């Protein structure tokens, strides 16, 4: 069943509200990027106004602007050794808690922040939960512009038909000055193996497969949430 956009917004909002309850006074918080993360950031802004003391690291310039407008204190990512909690969105996730991220083009900083984070909380509306990764959403890949043609050819050899992302008739440029390829691999059956192969391509800065980086996924389901915890074996 299709979820209407207002129903999706409600689900994003309830997931965001549930996620902010994990934040504690004195923590360093990673702030994700995208419409779902924005709900959490606005909620964190309210908590800060009511006395919550945190320091935040944004995953994009856009998120930084929003956080600053809400008077959330921002710190440099290099001023800490780790981040306590990050709340971020996703474009897709599967039963193994593998994510595809990068729809907003912030995947590089998002992956760095996720890697620095002790408790990574992913929030999503129910449409993001998929049985087969990669079918509905292409895999974003950040590339150095100088290497884009070479990287595209390498990605095609791995089975991914790709295009350079355009926005408003212009090449989309990331916060780091790079470009994004959107690669269609069809159903990504073995994300780990694809991730390893992509990581070997010179000039490819980052890809949007997030593996073993989510500790908790909170999915909005109507007016309520389902919380999925990463199980360590």
Question: Known catalytic residues?
Answer: 110
Give the span between the Cα atoms of 138 and 48, in whole angstroms.
36
Q: How far is the CB of 53 from ligand 5RP (least distance, A)?
A: 26
DSSP labels, 66-117: HHHHTT--B--GGG-S-EEEEEE--SEE-TT--EE--TTS-HHHHHHHHHHE
Give the span between the Cα atoms of 189 and 80, in whole angstroms.
36
Residues 34-53 that bind ligand 5RP (CB under 6 A): 34-37
Question: Given the rule CB under 6 A, which of 15-23, 32-40, 75-83, 195-203 is the region that contacts ligand 5RP?
Answer: 32-40
| Binding residue count for ligand 5RP, defined by CB under 6 A | 18
Q: Diameter of the chain by CA atoms?
A: 53
Decide the pairing of beta strands 55-58 and 28-31. Answer: parallel
Q: How far is the CB of 117 from ligand 5RP (least distance, A)?
A: 14
Give the span between the Cα atoms of 77 and 30, in whole angstroms.
9
Residues 56-115 that bind ligand 5RP (CB under 6 A): 88-91, 101-107, 110
Regarding 33 and contact with ligand 5RP (CB under 6 A), the answer is yes
Nearer to ligand 5RP, 52 or 138 (CB): 138
3-class SS of residue 28: strand
Q: How far is the CB of 208 from ligand 5RP (least distance, A)?
A: 7
Residues contributing to the site for ligand 5RP (CB under 6 A): 32-37, 88-91, 101-107, 110
């Amino acid at each position: 069943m299709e979820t209407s956009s207002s129903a999706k917004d409600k689900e994003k909002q309830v997931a965001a509200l549930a996620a902010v309850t994990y934040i504690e006074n004195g923590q360093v918080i990673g702030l994700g990027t995208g419409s779902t993360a924005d709900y959490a950031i606005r909620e964190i802004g309210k908590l800060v106004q009511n006395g919550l003391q945190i320091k935040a690291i944004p995953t994009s310039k856009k998120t930084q602007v929003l956080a600053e407008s809400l008077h959330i204190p921002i710190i440099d990512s290099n001023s800490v050794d780790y981040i306590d909690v990050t709340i971020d969105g996703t474009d897709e996730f599967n039963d193994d808690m593998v994510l595809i991220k990068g729809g907003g083009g912030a995947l590089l900083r998002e992956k760095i922040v996720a890697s620095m984070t002790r408790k990574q909380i992913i929030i999503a509306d129910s449409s993001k939960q998929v049985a087969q990764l990669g079918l509905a959403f292409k895999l974003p890949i950040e590339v150095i512009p100088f290497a884009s043609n070479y990287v595209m050819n390498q990605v095609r050899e791995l089975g991914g038909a790709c295009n350079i992302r355009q926005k408003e008739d212009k090449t989309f440029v990331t916060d780091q000055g790079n470009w994004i390829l959107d690669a269609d691999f069809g159903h990504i059956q073995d994300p780990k193996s694809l991730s390893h192969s992509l990581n070997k391509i010179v000039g490819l800065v980052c890809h949007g497969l997030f593996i073993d980086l989510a500790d908790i996924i909170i999915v909005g389901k109507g007016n309520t949430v389902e919380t999925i915890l990463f199980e360590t074996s």
